[in-house]
Structure 1
Amino acid sequence: MKAAILKALGQPLAINQMPDPAIGTGEVVVDVAAAPVLSYANEVFSGERQYPIDLPMVPGCGAIGRVRASGPDATHLKPGDWVFCDPTVRSRDDALMPDIALQGWSARGDGAKRLQRYFHDGPFAEQVRVPTENAIRIGEIDPDDATRWSALNVMLVPYGGLLAANLQAGEKLLVSGATGNFGSAGVAVALAMGARCVVAPGRNERALADLERRFGERVRTVKLSGNEDEDRERMRQASPGPIDCVMDLLPPSATTTTVRAAVMAVRPYGRVVLMGGVGMLGGEGLDLPYPWIMRNDITVRGKWMYPREAVTRMTGLIRAGLLDLGHFDVTTFLLDDANDAVTHAAANGGPFRITVIRP
């Protein structure tokens, strides 16, 4: 099969032939129809993000495809089924504390690195081998729509945070980082889940206006000034009532004061979910006042990725017409042009934009 291979950090992807993946028990081989390119892929491939990866490697993080073959443990999957290939690979020998690797992307810790050595190559290829439980059926789709269904890869991340926060219909949510790729998707997902209102702060006035245009009065935008106390008060005032939940999706480049301004806008007895990248590249940690957390009975939790059932549940939101894939502007590249796709994704990583490789 043909694949795009990252042989060394800082080098372009090499488009080469390599052996087709061999299937084993507990595994599925999928013909890749569409593989999204994350906006920061160039930072991973250059080494700027210092992701722990084992090279050479076929990269990529998630895909839409059709089952080619499944192992003897599969009881429902059959050849031709459309599936989302979930990159979140969990070890099977410790249900309480599984090691987790992102197939074709990253692995932290010794256990995750062992997972990565086996489920090694990602979907920037004509075929990919995944654990049985990671090939999740999405139902019949038009092959021409496979690239648009790649938006699952973006929307599932904030959906995982909203499930962790136990967001309920009618509640008021603040999305910190709402003008980014994951944050804007989080706005759409929260509204599909029945949020009464989403407060969307940011500095990009064009992106804020676009959110208002797409979603109307259920989105209340706030232009950030950089003054922590002032911004926090403006976020509170923008909401039609006390903010029930805050989800942070800000990137590593954001300041901790921007995060804290949003987090501390939540009401007493409210919930906060941290999913962003602040502090991942060094610098200050997030300083939240102990008395504020304790006396206001605030729940603060971290969340990385999403539970397995999230794919099926999100597919239901799409099938019900509550979540519109039409919001996403998709740019497609052939596998031979994978390096151009990485460059394009870096320059076009804004709200509701996805770059996809179509092998």
Structure 2
Amino acid sequence: MRAAVLNAFGETLHVEDVADPVIGTGEVVVDVVAAPVLSYTAEVMSGARGYLLPTPVVPGAGAIGRVRRVGPDATRLQVGDWVLCDPTVRSRDGGVTPDITLQGASARGAGGQLLQRYHRNGSFAEQMRLPTENAAPIGDIEPDEAGRWCAATTLLVAYGGLLAMEFRAGETLLVSGATGNFGSATVALALGMGARCVVAPGRNTRVLGDLRQRFGERLVPVVLTGDRAADTAAMQAAAPAGIDAVQDFLPPSAEAGVARAAIMTLRQGGRAVLMGGVGMMGGEELSLPYPWIMRNLITVRGQWMYDTAAIPGLIGLIRAGLVNLDHWAVSGFPLEQANEAVAHAAANAGPFRQTVLLP
């Protein structure tokens, strides 16, 4: 089969012939129809992100495809089924704290790297092997819909945070980082799940205006000024009632004070889920005030990726029309143009934009 291979950090991808994947018990092989290209793929390939990814490797996190072969223990998946290829691979012997690797992207800790030795190559290829439980059926689609369905890989991360905070219909959510890729996906999800209101702070007035145009009056934009106290007050004033929950997707380049200002909008008993990259490039700590957290019964938790139970729920929201994939503008590239796709993804990052490889 053909695959785009990263032979060493700092190099470009080389599209070449590699051996077809061979499966055993507990695995499937999927024909990749569309594979999302993350906006920061070039940073991963250069080594700038410092991701734990041994080379040579076929990169690519997640895909939409059709089952080509199933292992001897598969009971429901059938050849030809359309599936979402979940890149979050968990060790089967990890109990309540499984080791995790993001297939074709990175690994978490020493245990994740052990897992990565086997579940290594990702989706920038004509075929990929993955654990049976990571091939989630999505029902029949037309082949030209596969690229748009790749948005589900972004939506899954956002949905994982909303499930972690136990977000409920009728609540008001503030999305910190709403003008980014994951933040805007959170906006679409929360409104689809019945949010009373979503407060969307940011500095990019063009993107904030676009969000308002897409989602109507339940989306309330707030232009940030950099004055933390004033920004917190403005966000609180924008909500029709108290802010029940905050989901943070700010990037590594963001200052901790921006995240803190958003979190401190919470009403008594509010919840905050942190999923972004604040602090990963150094700088100020988040430093939330202990008395405020304690006296106001605030819950703050981190969430990395999502539980597997999130996948059928998200597919249900999409199939019900509560989350509309037509929001995403898709740019597709053939596998032979993998490097062009990586460059395009970097130059066209932002909400509701999806670059995909089409092997």
Q: Shift of residue 184 of structure 1? A: 0.4
Q: Where in structure 1 are there 5+ consecutive unaligned residues?
A: none
* Amino acid corresponding to residue 216 of structure 2 in structure 1: G
Tell me, yes or no, if the aligned pair for 1:181 and 1:352 is still in contact at 8 Å: yes
CA distance in 2, matches of 1:249, 1:180: 8
Shift of 1:280: 1.4
- 1:302 is aligned to 302
Alignment correspondent of 2:91 = 91
Which residue of the partner structure matches residue 337 of structure 1? 337
Normalised TM-score (structure 1): 0.99
> Paired residue for 1:14?
14
Shift, 1:309, TM fit = 1.9
Distance in 2, Cα, partners of 1:212 & 1:108: 37
In 2, the alpha carbon distance for the partners of 1:60 and 1:21 equals: 15
- Residue 61 of structure 2: aligned partner: 61
- Secondary structure of the 1:45 match is helix
Separation in 1 of the partners of 2:104 and 2:60? 5
Alignment of 1:103-118 (within 5 A): 103-118=103-118
Who is 1:77 aligned against? 77
How far has the Cα of 1:172 moved from its partner? Answer: 0.1
Letter in 2 for 1:313: G
1:20-59 deviation line (CA, Å, top 9, x unaligned): 0001111010000000001111111111111111111000
CA–CA distance in structure 1, aligned partners of residues 80 and 168 of structure 2:
36
Q: Give the deviation of 1:17 after TM superposition.
A: 0.4
SS in 2 for 1:119: coil
Q: Which residue of 2 aligns with 1:141?
A: 141
Aligned to 1:131: 131
Deviant stretches of 4+, over 3 Å = none
Q: Deviations over 1:284-341 (max 9, x none)?
A: 2211111111111101000011111212111111111111000000000000000010
- The CA deviation at 1:283 is 2.3
- Partner deviation per Cα, 1:241-294 (whole Å, 9 max, x = no partner): 000000000110100010001011111100000000111122222111111111
The whole-number CA distance in structure 2 between the counterparts of 1:282 and 1:62 is 29
CA apart distance, 1:108: 2.2
Residue 35 of structure 2 corresponds to residue 39 of structure 1: no
- For residues 211-245 of structure 1, the C-alpha deviation after alignment (integer angstroms, 9 at most, x for no partner) is 00000000000001011101000000000000000
Deviation at 1:144? 0.9
CA contact (8 A) 1:34 1:358 kept: yes
CA distance in 2, matches of 1:248, 1:6: 32
Greater mean deviation of Cα atoms: 272-281 or 171-180: 272-281
- Percentage of pairs with the same residue: 63
SS in 1 for 2:243: coil
Q: Which residue identity does 1:328 align to in structure 2?
A: W
Could you say which residue in structure 1 is the equivalent of 2:174? 174
Paired residues of 1:49 and 1:281 also in contact (CA < 8 A): no
Q: Measure the CA separation in 2 of the matches of 1:108 and 1:284.
A: 24
State the one-letter code of the partner of 2:87.
Answer: P
Equivalent AA in structure 2 for residue 323 of structure 1: V
* Aligned residues between the structures: 359
For 2:68 and 2:280, how far apart are their aligned partners in 1? 38
Deviation at 1:195, TM superposition (A): 0.5
1:5 and 1:14 in contact (8 A); partners too: yes
- Are residue 213 (structure 1) and residue 213 (structure 2) matched? yes
Q: Aligned-residue CA RMSD in angstroms?
A: 0.7
**If the length of structure 2 is used for normalisation, what is the TM-score?**
0.99
Given that residues 60 and 104 in structure 1 are in contact (C-alpha distance below 8 angstroms), is that contact kept between their aligned partners in structure 2? Answer: yes
Quick check: 1:24 aligned with 2:24? yes
8 A Cα contact 1:82 1:141, kept in partner: yes
Instruction: Output one character per residue of 1:50-102: Cα deviation in whole Å (capped at 9) or x when no partner.
Output: 11111110000110000001111211000000000000000000221100110
CA contact (8 A) 1:7 1:56 kept: yes
Q: Secondary structure at the match of 2:30?
A: strand
List per-residue Cα deviations over 1:123-164 (Å, max 9, x = no partner).
000000000100000001111100110010111111000000
Find the aligned partners of 1:267 and 1:347 in 2 and give their Cα distance.
Answer: 38
